Structure 1
């Protein structure tokens, strides 16, 4: 199992579609006893929160966010946690909106 996410700051490696997270978004993660949560903001996201669980190297969480245009959105994500050769953490994510149509994949990595 990769190390704890507690206290780590991660960011997407590429921009997503408008209204979603992008390279300017920062996720501040917390982890305790198999529970994970994070606050995030940046890019098109004014404020976002995620909450879920971790089993081994698998995260399962729900997210909700307020966008700069005043709209809100929510969804579900499952992520695989891996450790990069330089020791940083990477999350390979598969997500789906629950508040609208759409799904996809993304990658976030711990900042250097």
Structure 2
């Protein structure tokens, strides 16, 4: 084929130069690439890879939102369980600065 198309002779020569134990994998790869090229004629498998990466990123963002919501709901449930038992949830009043100061104080005293 001329004009930027696939050169069948080049593909055939490349397929013939593959070691015997890789011929099946090579054939599968060529079939896959041909199917992808029919769907994405310009970029082929690169377009498919870009689409898959974008979809994975969307799903990861959605997963983070779900994880955060789940953590909030778990905290609410713990708080409700404590209230139903007549206990108040414990609130830690120690700040990060206070913790750092205590660590420095401990190191000064005990090395």
| Higher-strand-fraction structure | 1
TM-score (norm 2): 0.22
| Higher-helix-fraction structure | 2
Asked which structure has the greater RCO (Cα within 8 Å, sep 6+), the reply is: 1
Which structure has the greater CA radius of gyration?
Answer: 2
TM-score (norm 1): 0.22
